[in-house]
Amino acid sequence: MRAPPRDPQDEAAEIVERCRRLEGGGLRTFVEDPPFVWDRAEGASIIDANGRRYTDLYGGFAVAAVGHGHPRVVAAIREQAGLLMHCPSAHPSRVRAEFLEALASIAPKGLDRILPAMSGAMANEIAIAIARTRKPAGEFITFSGSYFGRSVGTVGFAGKARYRNALGVRQQAHMVPYPYPLRMGEKSSDIAIAAIEQLIAPAGGAGDIAAIILEPIQGNGGVLIPPADLMPRLRRLCDRLDALLIVDEIQSGCGRTGRMWAVEHCGVTPDLMTVGKGIGGGMAVAAVLGRAEIMNWPADSFTSTFLTNNLNLAAATAAIGVLKDERLAERAGRLGEIAGKRLKQSLGNLRSIAELRGIGLWFGIELMDRFGRPAAEGAREAARRLRDRGVLVGRGGYDDNVVKLSPPLMIEASQLMEALDQVSEVIHEIAA
């Protein structure tokens, strides 16, 4: 990669100012102060506008499953750019056929139909619309802490009221507690299921249920891993209610948890599954997977101009090839185990850690203050100090007090361990 010459002092600040002058309000651009200005990225590293290199332990919001700018993805985009970029969804193309076949080859058994989308939110909107058209008067059940995107069609299902209020959207689903063992104890699944049973009882308030929609592991919720019995119990409930089980694998999929899909850990097949983020290898690709008898909308029920953009789809086909050929799910499982042990060794006994959660290459470090309260400022400060040390992490959780790690699955073990040691050091510093 060729780096353009630049004045290392000024470039980032100048870019921020140029954006600030013209950008409308509402994006996250200026939430961090100063904003982190991306310039280039390769593998598990990001180079900022001032030429400084960082280890990306957040994978660009969990997108860079195959790494940033994977050579196979880059080559596929280059080649496709010279052949065909825009191809309307009304017209099939070889590239679309290849994408559908590639995605079908890694789909859970039984989910043999695919609809393309361009964002996670769009995929979830399609899944919700399928459930709505199947049961027009049906209602939805989802869980506290859920995140399905921030479009008008999905934000009504969000756990955080702040997200809905920002867009002027009302709640669109009945909300029951997501099993949160740390806060709800060992019986957290029982509590969630009991809440649903109460809701659907004759005097419970809910009408006919069209679907239960959830993340099998919550990402925005702070890498929240429910007990293994949750999903089979929801499957049985949905069957009983003739409701669809919609599982959002946008963040938990593509090998992140050590399996291609998080649902594989519990042996449950949903009716509809949404995928996104890593599937595009860095391009805007998402999809809905489902059973043929559910994915049976009449022709011309929906479209979008760039839905089957051939650059996007060629990149996704290449990324899926990388996921399979480099066995990144297995790698995430193996490396995640070593990483988890290392974090546990260094952080396990620290009083400021409420819980250290992890599965595959996905970790949530939930912080608390000395009174046992969620420590949002601690998580913010940890992210700030880590950035100063050249390591990027995410933040989230119900109370914004979770440091989140979702590195590229191809990250070299040595780069990962070095960065994790920085994470541990910084959390120790903050606890002192």
Residues that bind ligand PLP (CB under 6 A): 61, 119-121, 124, 147-149, 215, 219-220, 248, 250-251, 276
Nearby residues of 102 by Cβ (< 8 Å), 6 or more positions away: 316, 317, 320, 321
**Nearest distance from C-beta of residue 36 to ligand PLP, angstroms:** 18
Residues 343, 85: Cα–Cα separation, whole Å: 44
> What does DSSP assign to residue 429?
H
* Distance from chain centroid for Cα 2: 31
Question: Toward ligand PLP, which CB reaches closer, 149 or 222?
Answer: 149
Note whether 178 and 143 are within 8 A (CB).
Answer: yes
Element (H or E) spanning 140, and its range? Answer: strand 139-143
Q: Which of 387, 389, 343 is nearest to 366 (CA)?
A: 343
**Nearest distance from C-beta of residue 150 to ligand PLP, angstroms:** 7
Using the structure block, give the residue that is written with the tokens 């097949």: 269
Question: Toward ligand PLP, which CB reaches closer, 119 or 352?
Answer: 119
**Nearest distance from C-beta of residue 285 to ligand PLP, angstroms:** 10
**Nearest distance from C-beta of residue 249 to ligand PLP, angstroms:** 8
Q: Which of 235, 270, 252, 249 is nearest to 109 (CA)?
A: 270
Question: Toward ligand PLP, which CB reaches closer, 99 or 157?
Answer: 157
Question: Toward ligand PLP, which CB reaches closer, 124 or 309?
Answer: 124
Note whether 387 and 395 are within 8 A (CB).
Answer: no
**Nearest distance from C-beta of residue 278 to ligand PLP, angstroms:** 11
Question: Toward ligand PLP, which CB reaches closer, 276 or 340?
Answer: 276
| Angle (nearest 5°) at CA 321 between 320 and 324 | 85
Strand order in the sheet with 286-290: 113-117, 286-290, 272-275, 244-248, 209-214, 139-143, 174-176
Residues in the chain: 432
**Nearest distance from C-beta of residue 220 to ligand PLP, angstroms:** 6
Q: What is the DSSP string of 324-386?
A: HHTTHHHHHHHHHHHHHHHHHHHHTT-TTEEEEEESSS-EEEEEB-TTS-B-HHHHHHHHHHH
**Nearest distance from C-beta of residue 210 to ligand PLP, angstroms:** 19
Question: Toward ligand PLP, which CB reaches closer, 149 or 281?
Answer: 149
**Nearest distance from C-beta of residue 142 to ligand PLP, angstroms:** 12
**Nearest distance from C-beta of residue 383 to ligand PLP, angstroms:** 17
Residues 190, 177: Cα–Cα separation, whole Å: 10
Question: Toward ligand PLP, which CB reaches closer, 148 or 363?
Answer: 148
For residue 101, give Cα distances in angstroms to 248, 302, 406: 21, 21, 27
Question: Toward ligand PLP, which CB reaches closer, 220 or 401?
Answer: 220
* Distance from chain centroid for Cα 377: 23
Closest chain position to ligand PLP (CB): 120
**Nearest distance from C-beta of residue 174 to ligand PLP, angstroms:** 19
Question: Toward ligand PLP, which CB reaches closer, 73 or 368?
Answer: 73
**Nearest distance from C-beta of residue 146 to ligand PLP, angstroms:** 8
| Angle (nearest 5°) at CA 269 between 266 and 274 | 105
Q: Strand 113-117 relative to strand 139-143: parallel, antiparallel, unpaired?
A: unpaired
Question: Toward ligand PLP, which CB reaches closer, 126 or 419?
Answer: 126
Q: Which two tokens stand for residue 218?
A: 């919550």
Residue 416 burial (C-beta neighbours within 10 Å; 0-12, 13-18, 19+): buried
Note whether 359 and 257 are within 8 A (CB).
Answer: yes
Question: Toward ligand PLP, which CB reaches closer, 121 or 427?
Answer: 121
